[in-house]
Structure 1
Amino acid sequence: MRQAIAIILSLAVLALFIGLGTWQVQRLKWKEGVLAEIDARIAADPVSLPVVPDKARDTYLPVTVSGQMDDATLRVLVSTKAAGAGFRLISPLQTDQGPILIDRGFIRVADEMPPVPAGPVTIEGNLHWPDDRRSSTPDNDVVGNTWFARDLDQMADTLSTKPILVITREMTPAEPNVLPLPVTSEGVPNRHLEYAGTWFLLALTWSVMTLTLLWRKKRRNP
């Protein structure tokens, strides 16, 4: 009787592990579809900047903006795989809809701060509301101009702009010493394959342990 109960419980646990792994595979397919939609949205033809951009509706929206940049730049500390540590450069752009924030791109830590473009510019990019801040992220050093997160309200207050950020994909005329870091879907978490593998591995481990215990018990009680 006890052995039958133990077998039933073991099978129930095995079914739970397999079910959770299967669910994560389904979630993986769903997330891949979401990422494909995001990639298609990012790469779509740019439109004019909405009069009142909305985070829920307009995140990743491709836009074209034109205007004159003010002579001010915030440095946001980041790290890239290709170039290592550096800064994102955030500057205000005066547009016909008012001043907004422009993420111009990346320079290395050792590079000199490039001046803002002197004349009118046209920027193709994507609207974004970054979520850079974590519990361990230091407070931004506004006085020392070293920022650790792109906090839109704080940046907008510092640069006297609207809390609207366009991340540059292409600027005309181009800035030769600034590398654009356009929006991609790489930052969207997708660990469902890892989770599925974990649950299926637990199912395999549980099966091996259960069969081993049953085999040992059978040897002791032929």
Structure 2
Amino acid sequence: MRRLILPLFFGILGTVVLVWLGTWQLQRLAWKEGVLADINARIVAPPVTLPEQPDPESDTYLPVTLSGQLTDQEIHVLASTRDVGAIYRVITAFETEDGRRVLADRGWIKTEDKNVSRAPQSTTLIGNLQWPEERDGFTPENDVDANIWFARDVGDMAVVLKTEPVLIVVREATSDVSENGPSVTPLPVDTSGIPNDHLGYVVTWYGLAIVWVAMTLYYLRRMRKTKKA
């Protein structure tokens, strides 16, 4: 029995730790689903007027509506979609009726339409405020001269287009831009880009707990047979 105490102790300890980790991830899963539900509800809430000084912390995903003019000053951000492949997001300087200049993420165009001009036009936009964090250690530097960007760096885009550091991701526009050039397809804000891997972690930790128990029982049984032999 003394020979079995130590393996049994580690078997129980390992099982407890793995089950605790799985339970913790189960709690994290419930928390993340609640966060995503809150964000989804916020995204589709009735739009309001653009705040005087939007706050990146409290106003992210805030639905807003504003009228004014889309200018012909654009920034093109290289991106991709599952259905189309490589695309450019079109970020335009937008002049509101009360004289403000903000950034408008109008949506996406095909790469071959990058250099086709889109004339200024008056419109009313409905969209959501966002300050994306798309840059990491592997993101290339933006090629400002060639107008090929690799991340929506709101501060840098605001400097180039001479706007406030405020980005509205367009969900709807009152006019069809196809009249003034190739159509820009809106790419609205959603929660698909927010990772939620907790269910996978739950399965992993509970699965390891089952394997740990099975290995412990197998080892204990083998030790008993060895002792009898």
The equivalent residue for 2:61 is 60
**Deviations 1:190-216, CA, capped at 9 Å, x for gaps:** 111111111112111211211111121
Instruction: Give the match's secondary structure for 1:163.
Output: coil
Deviation string 1:104-137 (CA, Å, 9 cap, x unpaired) is 0011212354543533111000000001101100
Shift in Å, 1:10: 1.3
The residue matched to 2:69 in structure 1 has which SS? Answer: strand
RMSD across aligned positions (CA): 1.3
The 3-state SS of whatever aligns with 1:120 is strand
Q: For 2:121 and 2:187, how far apart are their aligned partners in 1? A: 22
What is the CA distance between 1:178 and its match in structure 2? 1.1
Aligned to 1:184: 190
Selected match of 2:160 from 158, 161, 172 = 158
Give the alignment partner of residue 212 of structure 1, picking from 199, 214, 218.
218
CA contact (8 A) 2:8 2:220 kept: no
For the pair 1:11 / 2:12, whether they are aligned, the reply is yes
Aligned residue number for residue 45 of structure 2: 44
- Secondary structure of 1:121's aligned partner: strand
Q: Distance in 2 between matches of 1:112 and 1:7?
A: 66
d(CA) in 2 for partners of 1:189, 1:97? 38
Compared with structure 1, are the counterparts of its residues 112 and 158 closer, same or farther at alpha carbon in structure 2 (3 Å cutoff)?
A: closer
Aligned partners of 1:69 and 1:91 also within 8 Å: yes
Residue pair 1:104, 1:168 contacting (<8 A) in 2 also:
yes
How many positions carry a matched residue from both structures?
222
Match of 1:88? 89
Contact 2:48 2:65 in 1 (8 A): yes
Task: Measure the CA separation in 1 of the matches of 2:21 and 2:119.
Answer: 54
Cα separation, 2, equivalents of 1:72 and 1:43:
29
Q: Distance in 2 between matches of 1:122 and 1:114?
A: 23
> 1:114-133 alignment to 2 at 5 Å?
114-133=116-135
Mapping of residues 133-172 of structure 1, within 5 Å: 133-172=135-174
* Aligned structure 1 segments of 4 or more residues deviating by more than 6 angstroms: none
The share of aligned pairs that are identical, in percent, is 46
Distance 1:213 1:7, change over 3 A: same
Counterpart residue type for residue 202 of structure 1: L
Unpaired segments of 5 or more residues in structure 2?
Answer: none
Aligned AA (1:198): T
Cα separation, 1, equivalents of 2:203 and 2:226: 35
1:51/1:97 contact within 8 Å kept? no
Give, in whole Å, the separation in 2 of the partners of 1:34 and 1:204.
30
Please give the alpha-carbon distance, in whole angstroms, between the structure 1 residues aligned to 2:142 and 2:30.
38
For 2:58, what is the secondary structure of its paired residue? helix
Deviates more, 1:27-36 or 1:202-211: 202-211
Structure-2 separation of matches of 1:171 and 1:142: 27
Could you tell me which runs of 5 or more consecutive residues in structure 1 were left unpaired when the two chains were aligned: none
CA distance in 2, matches of 1:110, 1:217: 69
> Which whole-Å CA distance do the structure 2 matches of 1:141 and 1:130 have between them?
19
Q: When the two structures are superposed, what TM-score results if normalisation uses the length of structure 1?
A: 0.96
Higher alpha-carbon deviation: 173-182 or 125-134 = 173-182
* d(CA) in 2 for partners of 1:2, 1:137: 55
CA drift at 1:32: 0.4
Contact map agreement 2:47 2:64 (CA 8 A) in 1: yes
